[in-house]
Chain A
Amino acid sequence: MSSSHLSMLSSPKFSDLDSLSSRSFLSGLCLPAGAAASPRPSPSSTGVVHCGLRELRTRIDSVKNTQKITEAMKLVAAAKVRRAQQAVVSGRPFSETLVEVLYNINEQLQTDDIDVPLTSARIADIKSLGLDFVVLSVGKKGNSFFQRRPHIPVDRFLELGGLPTTKDAQAIADDVFSLFVSEEVDKVELLYTKFVSLVKSDPVIHTLLPLSPKGEICDINGVCVDAADDELFRLTTKEGKLTVERESFRTPTPAFSPILQFEQDPVQILDALLPLYLNSQILRALQESLASELAARMSAMSSATDNAIELKKSLSTVYNRQRQAKITGEILEIVAGAEALV
């Protein structure tokens, strides 16, 4: 608000009329010297807008609508991320117990001499053969990508609706399991985007099968993470902004009671545990992918909303300036006309 002592137009935006100070008929008015201090938004932010008042008005309205839409999309994505995170949390008891059981069974097995066909002893055989692969694609974007590239062999396209359920994970796990057991494939890798933070997602490749004998989950580079080390992400607020905290914790793995008897022989038990492991890994990967997609959408919508706000601001400024220029022009015409009559 300029501290002007003008008696003429008391509009607070009068400072913008310093552009007309060059016109001689305004010399009677004293323009406030400090008016130019109010910085005009640099013309490069909107270019030079030459459209009329009505077009500007329409444009401002449409930007306002876009802003509403992007903000709504951001809130929807935020709510969904919270739900996705809930799903991960409710899947925890399962994976914790499974890890416990796997550990203990492995310990027991390593003392017995068992030939377990699903461990990495087979990788040595596989390496001597050439690499032939088949892709199982999940999700709209992946599916359209592979559909346009027929030279990559794709086994099946799957699409998920909403939050991934056990049934979805089961369908994928069944496929993988039958491929592996019928020896059509020797190694199964899971490729998905790991949810790191609201602005960052890492694509990771995990070897799903064969299981390493020590109960580790291995990365494609051979970096193995202990299956008992788990990471959880949590959507919280920090300083009023939504952030994600990752906390890693280690599942306590108490030893089994030593008199625990296996009802069936260990191979059968492992056969039963394997689908459980597959299901939980695949479900976890699906949930993380969904969470990364939602987080990306959230941040994209958030920056889109900010852009829309800025655009609206600069458009409004230009609109107002044009409107005032028009008013001033009309006043000048009237004054000139009046003077001509005198």
Chain B
Amino acid sequence: MTLNLCVLTPNRMIWDSEVKEIILSTNSGQIGVLPNHAPIATAVDIGLLRIRRNGQWLTVALMGGFARISNNEITILGNDAEISTDIDPQEAKQTLEIAEANLSRAEGKRQAIESNLALRRARTRVEAVNVISY
């Protein structure tokens, strides 16, 4: 019994295949999903999505969204998603530094919200590249 995982972003489908297990970062913590999970709908936080397939773990940097799990079908709608192998480590680090600089320069509530979001996203991308796969 395998799970079918579908990761969608506004401009294309990032992932559509069968998986054994996933670990999802939600607003209320990380949840692991195995086959025959109870149906739930949850908001997804900006963080890593780890996928186990054929005994190997893959990492996807997910920029927030929504996930629905029912009947062994997982549908994740993300604002943006990048598979860790598609991320360039140097570029991710640079983006993180720029985001940190922007946050320290932010004035006002609005800029603070924006730069916070950008920082979290950049951090997730760097984490996705650095994660050890076991």
**A: which residues have CB within 8 A of B?**
87, 90-91, 93-95, 97-98, 101, 105, 165-167, 169-170, 173-175, 177-179, 181-182, 184, 256-257, 259-264, 268-269, 271-273, 275-276, 279-280, 283-284
Q: Are B66 and A272 in contact (CB under 8 A)?
A: yes
CA gap between A98 and B65 in the complex, in Å: 10
Which A residues lie within 8 Å of B117 (CB)?
174, 178
**B114–A262 CB distance below 8 A:** no
Q: Which residue from chain A places its CB closest to the CB of B80 in the assembled complex?
A: A166
Residues on the B chain within 8 Å of A272, using CB: 27, 43-44, 64-66
Please determine whether A169 and B75 come into contact, CB atoms closer than 8 angstroms.
no
Cβ B68 vs Cβ A101 within 8 A:
yes
On chain B, the residues within 8 Å of A93 by CB distance are: 6, 8, 13
Chain A residues with CB below 8 A from B11, complex form: 87, 90-91, 94, 165-166, 169, 283
- Cβ of A97 and Cβ of B77 under 8 Å apart? yes
Query: Could you tell me the distance between the alpha carbons of A177 and B111 in the complex, rounded to whole angstroms?
Result: 11
Interface CB pairs A-B, < 8 A, 11: A94-B13, A101-B68, A169-B11, A177-B113, A178-B114, A259-B38, A261-B39, A261-B41, A273-B66, A276-B78, A280-B10
B residues 75-134 touching A (CB-CB < 8 Å): 75, 77-80, 109-111, 113-114, 117-118
A261 to B68, CA, bound (A): 10
A259–chain B nearest beta-carbon distance, Å = 6
| B4: interface (CB < 8 Å) | no
Given A90-B11, A178-B110, A273-B66, is A263 in contact with B41 using a C-beta cutoff of 8 Å?
A: yes
Question: Closest CB of chain A to B102's CB: distance in Å?
Answer: 12
Q: Which of B10, B28, B39, B114 is A174 in contact with, Cβ under 8 Å? A: B114
Q: Which of B13, B64, B77, B80 contacts A101 (CB 8 A)?
A: B77
User: What residue of chain B has the Cβ atom nearest to residue A280's Cβ?
Assistant: B10
For B79, give its contact among A257, A261, A269, A276 (CB under 8 Å): A276
Alpha-carbon gap, A72 to B30, bound state (A)? 53
Asked whether B31 is an interface residue with its Cβ less than 8 Å from the other chain, the reply is yes
Q: A180 to B13, alpha carbons, bound, how many Å?
A: 29
Enumerate chain A residues within 8 angstroms of B72, measured Cβ to Cβ: none
The answer to whether residues A91 and B43 also contact, given A275-B79, A276-B66, A276-B79 and a CB cut-off of 8 A, is: no
Most B Cβ at <10 Å: residue of A90, A263, A269: A263
Distance in Å from the Cβ of B128 to the closest Cβ of chain A? 16
Does B1 belong to the interface (CB within 8 Å)?
A: no
In the bound complex, CA of A167 to CA of B26 (Å)? 22
A101 to B6, alpha carbons, bound, how many Å? Answer: 15
- Decide: B113 and A181 in contact? CB cutoff 8 A: yes
Docked Cα-Cα span, A87 to B11, in Å, equals: 6
**CB contact between A269 and one of B10, B13, B42, B118 (< 8 Å): that residue:** B42
What is the distance, in angstroms, from A105's C-beta to the closest C-beta of chain B? 8
Within 8 A of A (CB), among B1-33: 6, 8-13, 26-28, 31
B8 CB contact (under 8 Å) in A94, A105, A262, A263: A94
Cα distance, A170 to B117, chains bound together (Å): 11
Q: Within the assembled complex, what's the spacing in Å between the Cα atoms of A91 and B109?
A: 32
Q: Is B49 an interface residue when CB atoms closer than 8 A count as contact?
A: no
Q: Is the CB of B12 within 8 A of A91?
A: yes
Bound-state Cα–Cα, A181 to B68, Å: 25
Given the interface pairs A97-B75, A179-B110, A279-B79, the reply to whether A262 lies near B44 with Cβ below 8 Å is no
A269 and B110 form a contact (CB under 8 A): no
A283 — nearest CB in chain B belongs to which residue?
B10
Q: Looking at the assembled complex, report how far the CB atom of B51 sits from the nearest CB atom of chain A, in whole angstroms.
A: 18
Q: Is the CB of B40 within 8 A of A262?
A: yes
Chain A min CB distance to B99 (Å): 12
- CB-CB under 8 A from B113, the residues of chain A are 177-178, 181-182
Complex: how many Å from CA A146 to CA B41? Answer: 43
Please measure, in the bound complex, the distance between the C-alpha atom of A178 and the C-alpha atom of B31, giving whole angstroms: 28
Q: Please indicate the chain A residues that have their CB under 8 angstroms from the CB of B43 in the complex.
A: 263-264, 268-269, 271-273
- The answer on a CB contact under 8 Å between A90 and B13 is yes
Check A167–B80 contact: CB distance below 8 A: yes
Residues of chain A within 8 A (CB-CB) of B12 are 90-91
